Amino acid sequence: MMIEVGKFTLFEFPPYFFFAVLGFAVSISCYMILLLISDTKVSKKNLLLCLFAAIGVLLGARLFGCLTNIAIALHTKKRISMDVVYRAGLVYYGGLFGGVFFYCIGVRTLFRNQYDAGLINSFAVSIPLFHVFGRLGCLFAGCCYGKEYHGYGHINYIRDCITMETFPVQLLESIMELSIFCFMLVTYCITVKNANKNMLVMYFILYSIGRFFMEFLRGDGNRGFFGLLSFSQIVSIVVFVISIFLFLKRGVKNEI
């Protein structure tokens, strides 16, 4: 596959924008269906929750992009300027945290004491489905690319008249997210009446493991390195440890 970075479009739209909108529409549809499966009442409030989550995704992704650039500047002992913030990209982990935070705030604000585990669990299962399309957007946009690779299935990127042959890590992560979605969907359908199942924690555990190893296949340096680990790998370790703690804590509570 040959892709000229900056010039490839889908229906005249930038590829990342196209797939992000498509992924958002598909994940919202999935979210609504899962709410119906869990016998959770669907109303306009649920659409407002999705809007809250979307705002959180944009703010969180941008904020993490700024923090990544600042961390890289501090690590390399470079001066921190407004350009570091201005040139910040969108980071998935930041979007994930922002989306979850704003969604949970929305649940507490709109539903108050009417909290239903179906709201959180349905949202959690829909998250990887959105990222399936998001990583396809990265694939065609030429960002988050893989290491230099000349074997079967490599991607040819033309950037500034220079051709790069890279490993299709974006496609692999998209497949990984699809696998996580399928696993969580099956688990959700089997335990749909079990409010004790925290699908959000499950997603954090599964994704943090996959993302940690996926980082070894990436070739872009924008995410920053601190020793042998990238910024995303450090975040993955923190997310995994906290998620395991919450998972075990909840398990002990249920036994008591």
Instruction: Tokens for 17, please give them.
Output: 């924008």
Instruction: Tokens for 188, please give them.
Output: 């959700």
- Across 189-199, b (16+ Cβ under 10 Å) vs e yields eeebeeeebbb
Q: Could you give the CA distance from residue 146 to residue 220 in angstroms, rounded to a whole number?
A: 7
Distances from the Cα of 151 to the Cαs of 154, 155, 165, in angstroms? 6, 10, 9
In the chain, which residues have pLDDT < 50? 252, 254-256
* 204 contacts: CB under 8 Å, gap ≥ 6: 239, 240, 242, 243
Q: Could you give the CA distance from residue 36 to residue 31 in angstroms, rounded to a whole number?
A: 9
Q: Could you give the CA distance from residue 69 to residue 163 in angstroms, rounded to a whole number?
A: 26
Q: Could you give the CA distance from residue 73 to residue 111 in angstroms, rounded to a whole number?
A: 42
Amino acid identity of 63? L
Q: What angle do CA 224, 226, 215 make, to 5 degrees?
A: 60
Q: Could you give the CA distance from residue 2 to residue 188 in angstroms, rounded to a whole number?
A: 39
Instruction: Tokens for 64, please give them.
Output: 């993490």
Q: Could you give the CA distance from residue 67 to residue 59 in angstroms, rounded to a whole number?
A: 12
pLDDT 10s digits, 65-107 = 888 778 777 767 777 777 766 777 788 999 999 999 999 999 8
State residue 90's pLDDT score. 81
How far the first Cα of the chain sits from its last, in Å, is: 56
Q: H or E stretch including 55? A: helix 44-75
Q: Could you give the CA distance from residue 193 to residue 196 in angstroms, rounded to a whole number?
A: 9
Q: Is 224 left (phi over 0), alpha (psi -120 to 50) or beta?
A: left
State residue 60's pLDDT score. 94
State residue 256's pLDDT score. 37
